Structure 1
Amino acid sequence: MALKNIDPLSLDDPTEGGEEEVPVKVLRAHSAGLTAAHLCFHDSRILSSSSDSTAVLWDAERCVPLRVFDGGHGAAISECAVIPDRNRMVTVSWDKKMIAWDLETGQTLWTSSLAGLLTSCSVSCDGRLVVCAADLQSGVYVSDAASGQTLHHVSDLHRSTVTRCRFDPQSQRIATVSADRTIKLWDLVAQKTTVSINSNHSNVVSNCCFTNNGHFLSTASWDKTLQLWDLQTGAFWSRGGASLRTGHDGSVSSCSFSADANLLVSSSYDRTVAVWDMSTLCHTLILKGHSDWVTDVSISADKKWVASASKDGTLRLWNIENLEETPEVIEKRRSHGTGIHIVMCEECGKPFSVSRLETSELLTKCVFCRLKSPTRYRPQPPPLMSL
């Protein structure tokens, strides 16, 4: 499907393309643009936040709001995050407050007033810690998820606004991206930045996400591209990140990996959602239907559903269960093949095959030559599968 130039400020509703091929449900409860959408609780619920200063917990099957969380914030909620195994969530806002909520009762559990507009939040996988990004001093606050007490305040982490912060799946490091176009990994044990990357992006880095095993990080940017970074081998030091291009006509606002890392979904100010095949690093499907900027995106663990949040005030739930049967994906498969690439071993000269994500750019030796010199090669376990 060919993309056309779209004015991101226009409110005309696109009718061509993905909306006809992919079933979609439109969820309405917010009175202003949405800022976040997260599938949670084994994909049975969706959590959304909005510029209307509220958050909503949705039943994903019935597509109805179960509870509206309001009265806590006095300005736009920039992001929300579930606290694992606690039936709680946190929200952060431009009113400089981070609030923890009880999802069952809707009551606030604690409120933390911090310095600066709060732009992002993330909860560690063990549910113990919350990190939020603050515009003032371009840094982050790491807090106790149970009490809201600030444990670490890292100021001047970046030279400009921190646009997104994310815990890695092991709850050991925090990734931050910024308007200064850099990527940082801050180590919780060492309490310092252990990795700093000057990205390939030519504009603001707006978002980031980890694969479930923590080996790869994807970044989204206002330069209309995404980059893929192999954190395990560190090959980006010499080669930069692998680039994902031509999926969007506008600034990319968000990205999210599937649990098995085979798919990546991204959203954009061009009002679309893109589904990327990680074996080829090419987009296979463009989902159209939102009438304004798409601000956030999430994919279910079983890869059947994509949730998207938009400035148009709606949350959309796209059914991509039959992704492989859509005409656009069939055509992409013909164009790009299976995603398996043949590489010549630099040591023995024999050919061997690799998938794109296991990376034809990063692997240069066949398995037999790698096994002969294990100290020079760090093998990559397969991505963790969802239960």
Structure 2
Amino acid sequence: MDPLCVQESLPVPEGGGENVWSSDRLSQIPFQILRGHRGAVSSCHFCCQDTKLLTSSHDQTARLWDLSSCTSICDYGGEHTAPISQCSPTQDNRRMVTSSYDKTVKFWDMETGKVLGSVNLDGLVTSCNVSGDGRLVGCSVDVDNAVYIIDFTTASKVQHIKDQHTSTITRCCFDPEGQRVCSVSSDRSIILWDMIAQRTTIRINGAHGNVISDCSFSNNGRLLCTASWDKCVKLWDVNTGEFRHSGPNTLLHGHIGSVSSCIFSEDGSILVSGGYDKRIIMWDVNSACKKLVLKGHTDWVLDVALSTNKKWILSASKDSTLRLWNIENCEEIPAVIENKKAIGPRHAQCEECQKPFPIMHWDNTNVTHKCVFCRLSAPSKDTDHLPPVPPTVSTPV
């Protein structure tokens, strides 16, 4: 389908997506609407090599969807007795965890839909996250503003982290190595807990001007992004601690309301955020500027996900629907091109002379890896990528 084409949405049966691609009139990005949940959709994920979608809802169920047909293929229900706050799949996509306001965490076999185990906790479970190796589960609970670390195999509690926050923890997540747990809270602070030393190694008080609603690590573990009700997303270099001297990178001029979720792309070049302003925003991490704004949900966007191949964005909303956005050709639409021009050039290091040189955001970095002087000195290698040389005009004597 032509990404610039605009089509009207058609009626859709329960449990499926639109049978045609529609297009956001402002962003010109094709999308499909997925319906099936009967309550706010609290979290969403891509899984099974971007062929499946996993979601959870306040309707007390989780669902597995087929991406190609946008239809629900498995319903994980009948176990929780209150809204599910979050779901988190293991990296091999064979199992998942769900957390709920019924004060339980449940472990599922994704293929059979059976519950493998259940853990009762002291209070409402506000979030859950599985470590990269699938061994541990981190859960945040409103009682004692605590985080529990649970062994996935035995369903036993191995660590109880409390007295770190002064108010409800909204989200917790593991770093890619599974050695640290980050928790964020309505007390506006960020805590990084070392699993080996069993102590807090980084504490950032007053990290935002309002409740911090979400946190997520980049795949290399260097950057941490946080989303807040203060309408901002912030990037923290937690690997080198650079934020202690220069502060975080703040992503501004995007959301016009509270930000509810944020996540990095696999390569860390893109960040996607969703907010209570019903918007999804795609950001360029290097320039800390927005690339694209997606609109269409009729209520708060509670969670967002980005496929590994960066072709799809999935958004979950309080309006009980999901939207699957096809961003494969987004670099070609006017809105993105204009934002790139506003950002201006970025800099790369020439692989030959080692000097920095400017690259516009629409340049192909796989091709443009040398400065113009080094490319001109070796025309045989890069002739195809250089601008045409104007013909020499002789001047009559």
If the TM-score is normalised by the length of the shorter chain, which range does it land in? 0.7 to 0.9
Residues 318 and 86 (structure 1), Cα distance of their counterparts in 2 relative to 1, 3 Å cut:
closer
1:210 to 193, 196, 217: 217
Q: Which has the larger radius of gyration?
A: 2
Residues 202 and 124 (structure 1), Cα distance of their counterparts in 2 relative to 1, 3 Å cut:
same
**Correspondence for 2:91:** 84
Shift of residue 20, structure 1, vs aligned partner: 5.5
Cα displacement string for residues 4-29 of structure 1 (whole angstroms, at most 9, x for unaligned residues): xxxxxxxxxxx996666000011111
Q: What secondary structure sits across from 1:329 in the alignment?
A: helix
Residues 337 and 133 (structure 1), Cα distance of their counterparts in 2 relative to 1, 3 Å cut:
same
Rounded Cα–Cα distance in structure 1 between residues aligned with 2:65 and 2:268: 25
Moved beyond 4 Å, runs of 4+: 15-20, 351-355
> Do 1:297 and 1:306's aligned partners in 2 also have CA atoms closer than 8 Å?
yes
1:238 to 239, 245, 251: 245
1:297 to 280, 284, 304: 304
Rounded Cα–Cα distance in structure 1 between residues aligned with 2:73 and 2:101: 25
Residues 218 and 304 (structure 1), Cα distance of their counterparts in 2 relative to 1, 3 Å cut:
same
Q: How does 1:111-190 map to 2 (within 5 A)?
A: 111-190=118-197
**Correspondence for 1:322:** 329
Rounded Cα–Cα distance in structure 2 between residues aligned with 1:182 and 1:353: 39
Shift of residue 147, structure 1, vs aligned partner: 2.2
Rounded Cα–Cα distance in structure 2 between residues aligned with 1:325 and 1:112: 49
1:312 to 302, 313, 319: 319
1:40 to 22, 33, 47: 47
**Correspondence for 2:107:** 100
TM-score under structure 1 length normalisation: 0.83
Higher relative contact order (CA 8 A, sep 6+): 1
1:21 to 28, 33, 40: 28
Shift of residue 179, structure 1, vs aligned partner: 0.6
Rounded Cα–Cα distance in structure 2 between residues aligned with 1:218 and 1:33: 24
Cα displacement string for residues 129-154 of structure 1 (whole angstroms, at most 9, x for unaligned residues): 00100011001000011121111111
**Correspondence for 2:274:** 267
> Do 1:18 and 1:286's aligned partners in 2 also have CA atoms closer than 8 Å?
no
> Do 2:93 and 2:110's aligned partners in 1 also have CA atoms closer than 8 Å?
no
Query: Which letter maps to 1:108?
Result: V
Query: Which letter maps to 2:297?
Result: H
Gaps of 5+ in 2: 1-21, 350-354, 360-397
Rounded Cα–Cα distance in structure 2 between residues aligned with 1:128 and 1:333: 42
Cα displacement string for residues 307-329 of structure 1 (whole angstroms, at most 9, x for unaligned residues): 00000000111000011111100
Q: What secondary structure sits across from 1:104 in the alignment?
A: coil
TM-score under structure 2 length normalisation: 0.81
Cα displacement string for residues 191-232 of structure 1 (whole angstroms, at most 9, x for unaligned residues): 111111124410011101111000000000000001100112
Shift of residue 84, structure 1, vs aligned partner: 2.4
Rounded Cα–Cα distance in structure 1 between residues aligned with 2:240 and 2:149: 28
Shift of residue 156, structure 1, vs aligned partner: 1.8
Residues 354 and 230 (structure 1), Cα distance of their counterparts in 2 relative to 1, 3 Å cut:
farther
> Do 2:58 and 2:82's aligned partners in 1 also have CA atoms closer than 8 Å?
yes
Query: Which letter maps to 2:259?
Result: V
Rounded Cα–Cα distance in structure 1 between residues aligned with 2:357 and 2:126: 42
- RMSD of Structure 2 on Structure 1 (CA): 2.0
Shift of residue 293, structure 1, vs aligned partner: 0.3
Q: What secondary structure sits across from 2:274 in the alignment?
A: strand
Shift of residue 297, structure 1, vs aligned partner: 0.2
Cα displacement string for residues 235-272 of structure 1 (whole angstroms, at most 9, x for unaligned residues): 11122211101110110000010001110000000001
Q: What secondary structure sits across from 1:267 in the alignment?
A: strand
> Do 1:199 and 1:241's aligned partners in 2 also have CA atoms closer than 8 Å?
no
> Do 1:86 and 1:127's aligned partners in 2 also have CA atoms closer than 8 Å?
no
Between 1:194-203 and 1:207-216, the stretch displaced more is 194-203
Rounded Cα–Cα distance in structure 1 between residues aligned with 2:65 and 2:78: 18
